[in-house]
Structure 1
Amino acid sequence: MNMEVLPRRARSPDALKGITITSPYLRRFQRLHALTLLWVPAIGSLLAFFLAFHHGVAWQNLSAFAVLYLLTMLGGSVGYHRLFAHRSFKTGRYTKCLLAILGSMTAQGTPIYWVSNHRRHHEFSDEEGDPHSPNLLSPTEPWRRLKGFWFAQVAWTYQHQLTQPARYAKDLLRDKDICWISAKYYYWVGLSLLIPCVLGGLLTRSLYGALEGLLWGGMFRVCLSYHATSAINSLTHLLGSRRHATHDRSTNIWLLGPLTVGESFHNNHHAFPASARFAGSLWDMDIGYWFIRLLAALGLATDIRLPQHRTERSGEQHG
């Protein structure tokens, strides 16, 4: 089912004021972080496949890759997205902190940075002000869709104007735990690379196993999780089906469901942004929601919000 795109919302002339930070220093720092995130894991992934072609891969390191990929993607989807950005459920302090650390291990920015960008995306989805829309080029622009895909998948990470957290993440700025975890962001990224390296060395009892662990559980995991997450910015605003009429061009792509732990049911999410469940049917693999239900069964998650009525924005207060 492909639903219509609803007319754009009326905006005040001052709608875009104060949504970004003007700081050359922070801009350079963010650009360096983005380019490092793009290229270092990509080069490491190529080396991983090259060595695998010649020497194979130890099952221990493939297992570590799979487990770490799942855990860190859940940190991003369940922690960064559904808990921090949309407050779609509640949890205790230790579970909150663990999810924030696992999300940080995706190397996609601090919780405060990520949430600020995402809330801004919902406010201006596929309109001027959206930090990563693939649909803002002129209709007459040659190769418009391909250029839009490249921007939303890759280029936005080093080209976008930094989002103002004082506007979009006041609640997180008041959370001492989240501020501390954000301040230690690079420690969590480093730990996410060290863990598979050490495990690979111990489980295979070799230095080569340690290198292989770093490449698969570290570099390739970060590379794959980055592009899986970015596919939500790009592909699910360009391709796929639409279950709900929304003001943007968000879509659902069923095939990406397992890889993105449910994030690819993006049109459902934009229709009901405050919901913890992104799946629209029993056949949709929303692993993130299944994990929230597991947390609830263990007594670690409460007040789980589900689709009840349409919300126009993100369904929560940020102040």
Structure 2
Amino acid sequence: MDLRWWPIAVIGLLALLGCFAMAVLLPLAPDRRRLRPLANIARLIRLPEYARAARLRSVSTVATLVLLVVLFGAAAAAAARPTGADDAFERIHPEDLMLCVASPVTDPATGALLRHYAQQAATYQTQRIGLTSVNSRVVPLTRDYQYAAGRFGDFARASEVADPDPGLLGQFAAPITYTDYAAGVDDVLSLCLTGFPGFDQKSAHRRSMVYLGPPVLRAADEQRPALFDAQQVADLADAAGAQINVVTSGEDAALRTLADRTGGEFTIATTESAVRDALAEIDSRPVPLVLDDGTRVTGQTQDAPVPLLAVVLVATALLSVTLVVLRR
């Protein structure tokens, strides 16, 4: 919860601290310091009725002070106009997430990514999620989270066994060899970007992609041409309004530039735990909606005073009851 007018909350806190300081530091009035002697006071304080009344008064006084502090704090925070996330933004602009995996399905890093998003899919409500490999649309964008999680789990298990099912490997990435073409990272990225419906123009959906794989797929002496280069992929990402996050095993200037240009994260991860940490960091950052003028909107807020006003009402009611008890 954020505050629109946070100086009001700061002023309220300072005023409350000032009240405590005055109560502790200011001396009592002379007539309050002068105590009158009472006869037979020892017999009085031994009476059960007196002890019960004194205990009740102490408890009521402490309760009153606590309720006054809570009431004052809640009122000051409510006056500062608390805000919360606008749920309508998530419904109007849901997220489309494409997992783009260039690593083999048997790679432990691939298993870590697929297990992570199999768990995440169970928490989704409006998002669509898909999976693309180097040459196959393994899972098209879908809101069938049970289906997606099941497929991710099946492929993740291929990284845990010594002899995975060849049919499962073929479903993930078809064993195709070309005579006049050799895929590069840019080709894989472009294939993943075309998995967004209407990929050649911006959408009301927020689009993001997570690339997992090596920074280079082509051999150094490869003579066969690729189809796409880094500039074409960047132009395609701009046209789609997609954020590209990169989790790779080594440094690559082009991939880092692409991630920075689209507002994504570039992370070098060489272990399963590092991959999981990188994915958690990516998930923690809201995916922006890219407007036609290039503005990136990560969310909308609305006034959310109800919780604090409820605290004010409850504290006021309890305080009234406590004061009635004190008067009795």
TM-score range, shorter chain: under 0.3
Say which one has the larger Rg.
Answer: 2
Report the TM-score when normalising by structure 2: 0.21
TM-score by length of 1: 0.22
Q: Which protein is richer in strand relative to its size?
A: 2
Q: Tell me which protein shows more helix as a share of its residues.
A: 1
Q: Which has the higher contact order (CA 8 A, sep 6+)?
A: 1
